Amino acid sequence: MALLKLVAPVKDYLWGGDRLVKEFGKKAIGSVTAESWELSCFPGSESIIENGEYSGKKITDYISDKGNMVLGTNCQKFEDFPVLIKLIDAKKDLSIQVHPSDDYARIHENQYGKTEMWYIIDAEEDAFLYYGFKRDVTKEEFARRIEDETLTEVLNAYPVKKGDIIFIESGTLHAIGAGILLAEIQQNSNVTYRVYDYGRRDKDGNLRELHVDKALDVTNLSAVKKVSRPEPHIGECKYFTVDKINLTGNITDTIKGTVGEESFLHILILEGQGTIKNDGEEMTYSKGDSFFLPSGSGDYSLSGSLEALLTYEK
């Protein structure tokens, strides 16, 4: 069996909403659902296979049994599975934060660092996010503004709308703002250094931990430069490549492709419904579904109407 449908673990972080449950069919574990981890090999939060002989098992069990070559030749340069894909519903502002580079994270956290990209699925009117500094700052000014809570005065407030794409390199200070629903494709890491969290408390009434000293070590203090879109892809770096596809169900109602030996393919359905076929198998899909096709699984097709993100290693 090559075509694997995945079930995403979900996270109930305090800033989340309910759209992932109501619109994308995710299973709630609390009063809020902030994230669903659509393709995850991260320890303790692995995606679960829904169909076939591995039904109910972690995707890491499948990879362990079948061997790393199901990830493709382009993945063999990575020590661990390289990518983590999420849906994120920010009903409230996320903390202002930064992620370290691989070199720093390996030394201090025993994980990868985090470079990531966001595809904006939906955004309320006037929604925005923070993306780097709007001018150069010194380390001393950065530390002072964290201390006196004036940091947002020097951050680049970036308005967003449906369809926008933002690429966040490690070391870039950032925060997703309230009213934004997005897909995040990132390195397989959960290292986040918070520098400001609006004085919020967790479910036990404790202030959430900040990581100011480490953030001072890793943050790029230069004015942000937006990374250009890597045509024909919507996102590309050494950790992942992302394409977006659309089917109208009218003029074009089928897209075909091939999964070669170079890489696996992950398909995340953002809108629509229809049929997916691969390696002699056929399944229906709908909004919120997530599929993993191992390397070498050959020709596939998607029929119906959809908006989807395809992620692979190039």
Instruction: Tell me the C-alpha to C-alpha distance, in Å, between residue 248 and each of 258, 272, 303, 306, 314.
Output: 21, 9, 10, 7, 27
- Catalytic-role residue among 135, 145, 194, 200: 194
What six digits make up the tokens of 80?
């661990």
Residues 279 and 297: their CA atoms lie apart, in Å, by 6
What six digits make up the tokens of 223?
């004015």
Q: Are 255 and 308 in contact (CB under 8 A)?
A: no
Residues 70 and 90: their CA atoms lie apart, in Å, by 34
Task: Establish how many alpha carbons lie within 13 A of residue 85's alpha carbon, considering only the half-sphere containing its beta carbon.
Answer: 29
Residues 62 and 188: their CA atoms lie apart, in Å, by 18
198 alpha carbon, distance to own chain's centre: 24
Active-site residue flag, 194: yes
Q: What is the gyration radius of the CA atoms in the chain, in angstroms?
A: 20
DSSP of 123-181 = E-TT-EEEEEESS---HHHHHHHHHHT-GGGGEEEEE--TT-EEEE-TT--EEPPTTEE
Angle (nearest 5°) at CA 295 between 292 and 297: 80
- The catalytic residues are 194
